[in-house]
Amino acid sequence: MAALEFRDPIRAKALAAALARATGDVGREVSLMHVCGSHEQAIAKFGLRSAFPRDLNVIMGPGCPVCITDQPEIDEAVALARQGARIATYGDMVRVPGTAGSLADAQARGARIDTVYSVAQAVDLARETPDDVVFFATGFETTAVATAAVILAGVPKNFSVLSAHKYIPPVMEIVAEMPGTRVEGFLAAGHAATITGWGIFEPFVARHHLPVVVAGFEPLDILAALVKLVELVRDRAPAVVNMFPRCVTREGNRNAQRRLWQVFRPIGGRWRGIAHIPNGNLRLRDEWAAVDARRRFTIDLASLWQHAPSTLARQCICGNIMAGIASPDDCPLFGGACVPDAPVGACMVSSEGTCRIWHQYGGVPDLTAVARPFQGRDDRGAEGPALRDNASRGPVCPI
């Protein structure tokens, strides 16, 4: 296959120009929301925000599973670790604090925490040790299907799962219904939709009359999807459009869906700093009680909570920040009780969270006006050619 470029900066500039024109056509500020931490990561990594037009407000919604994993769920993992179980989990979760510290804190006090890249590694770990290995399972349906797959393939007796998996479609309903929300369209997560299929958004669009565009994660994917979404807003055309057809189909990955629902069932639960989300949490079905850490162990949260502070979480306004109706400055906790080292809400937890960025840089610095290095300088002669010798636009995305 030819080196097909989804990171072509030339096309990216053309798409950014198209985005500016489409936003200009609307003639007012447009607020869109993505519900995917990886979209925020990609937007940040490639510096796309500085390429968005001023009137386009791309809000980071509740799409980062690390951020929205509720404190009591982390507490369960910490309690199990303190009770002597070996906790295996994805690196993302290790430093996120619950009400009584994070897994990293527990590790500092002697608990055994293993960071894994794949749930399959956690199963391997259980095979190599006589100890109880509990996989603290976080992530959305994309990640949950992998947990389901290892359970269906058979796990050793000392392996169990503490599921904090989340299911993304229900939260979009909640955000769309938040009073005062300015969100006029959603960018849906391409990798989650790879599993669920884009058809799942059709009832949502019918109910809320808001357009949904499924987007991939390369710069061109994100820019093109935003152009499409702004056009749908401009044309008042609520519809689902799949702009990631290389990975997403209407019906999705049926094999993975089947496995997901064989192992998990959706139940309601709190998402950190947002709300109670009906059907937003994935728990193991009854027939998998034997591998469910919640049923295998008595999790002693009481001892953990003895000294826990009265819940600051009630004052947290992350939900409003994510809905685009408040800024960190409006929050009584921001910068005081809620700081990057001891975050209260979702927006301070993530490295790309709105509050975290505000805290680090005193607001969101406007980088649109910054000159490109070396460009338009008279003295580039000396290093000009040399500069580009090593120039590489990152690995060319093979597909």
Partner 1 sequence: MCLGVPGLVVEVDDLTAVVDFWGVRRRVRLDLVDEPVAAGDYVLNHVGFAIRRIPPEDVQTTLELYEQLLKEASGDLMATDVRSEIENLKSEF
Partner 2 sequence: MSHLAADDRIMLKHGAGGRAMRRLIEDAFLRAFATDPEVPAGLVGVAAMDDGGAVRLGDRWLVMTTDSHVIQPPFFPGGDIGRLAVAGTVNDLAVMGAPDVLGLTCAVILEEGFPRADLERILASMRIACDEAGATVISGDTKVMGKGEIDGIVINTAGMALAPHLVRDAGLRPGDRIVVTGTLGDHGMAVMATRHGLALDVDLRSDVAPINGLIRAVMTAAPGAITAMKDPTRGGAATALHEMASKSGVGVMVDEAALPVRDTVRGVAELVGIDPLLVANEGKALLGVRADAVGRVLETLRAHPRGADAAVIGVCTEDRPGMVILDTGFGRRLVAEPEGELLPRIC
Residues numbered 6-35 forming contacts with partner 2, rule: CB under 8 A: 9, 12, 16
Check residue 343 for interaction with partner 1 (CB under 8 A).
Answer: no
Our CB check for partner 1 shows the closer of 224 and 333 to be 224
Size of interface with partner 2, in residues (CB under 8 A): 74
Start-to-end C-alpha separation, the chain: 8
Single out the residue of 121, 35, 40, 37 nearest to residue 86, CA to CA.
121
Check residue 17 for interaction with partner 1 (CB under 8 A).
Answer: yes
Check residue 11 for interaction with partner 1 (CB under 8 A).
Answer: yes
* Bridge partners of residue 271, in order along the sequence: 275
CB of 386 to partner 1, least distance (A): 16
Give the H/E segment covering residue 186. strand 183-189
DSSP assigned state of 392? -
Check residue 168 for interaction with partner 1 (CB under 8 A).
Answer: yes
Distance CA 197, CA 149 (A): 19
- Four-CA torsion 176, 179, 183, 189, nearest 10 degrees: -30
Q: Which does 342 bind (CB under 5 to 8 A by kind): partner 1, partner 2, none?
A: partner 2
Our CB check for partner 1 shows the closer of 26 and 149 to be 149
Are 116 and 89 spatial neighbours (Cβ–Cβ below 8 Å)?
yes
Choose which of 30, 32, 33, 36 interacts with partner 1 (CB under 8 A): 36
Site for partner 2 in 362-381 (CB under 8 A): 365, 367-368, 370-374, 377, 379
Choose which of 14, 108, 237, 290 interacts with partner 2 (CB under 8 A): 108
Strand, helix or coil at 53? coil
Choose which of 17, 18, 26, 49 interacts with partner 2 (CB under 8 A): 49
Choose which of 22, 32, 37, 144 interacts with partner 2 (CB under 8 A): 37
Choose which of 18, 50, 156, 261 interacts with partner 2 (CB under 8 A): 50
Are 52 and 44 spatial neighbours (Cβ–Cβ below 8 Å)?
no
Distance CA 242, CA 252 (A): 12
Name the token pair of 206: 């019918």
Q: Which does 124 bind (CB under 5 to 8 A by kind): partner 2, partner 1, none?
A: partner 2
Residue range at the interface with partner 1 (CB under 8 A); choices 144-152, 262-270, 297-305, 353-361: 144-152
| Helices 141-153 and 254-263, axial angle in degrees (round to 10) | 70
Taking residue 279's Cβ as centre, other Cβ atoms within 10 Å add up to 15
Check residue 62 for interaction with partner 2 (CB under 8 A).
Answer: no
DSSP string of 350-383?
A: STT-HHHHHHHHTS----TTPPPTTTT-GGGGTT
Are 162 and 294 spatial neighbours (Cβ–Cβ below 8 Å)?
yes
Return residues touching partner 1 (CB under 8 A).
1, 4, 6, 9-11, 13-15, 17-18, 21-22, 35-39, 41, 63-65, 90, 117-121, 139-140, 142-143, 145-146, 149, 152-153, 168, 189-192, 194-195, 216-217, 220-221, 224, 227-228, 231, 243-247, 253-256, 259, 395, 397-399
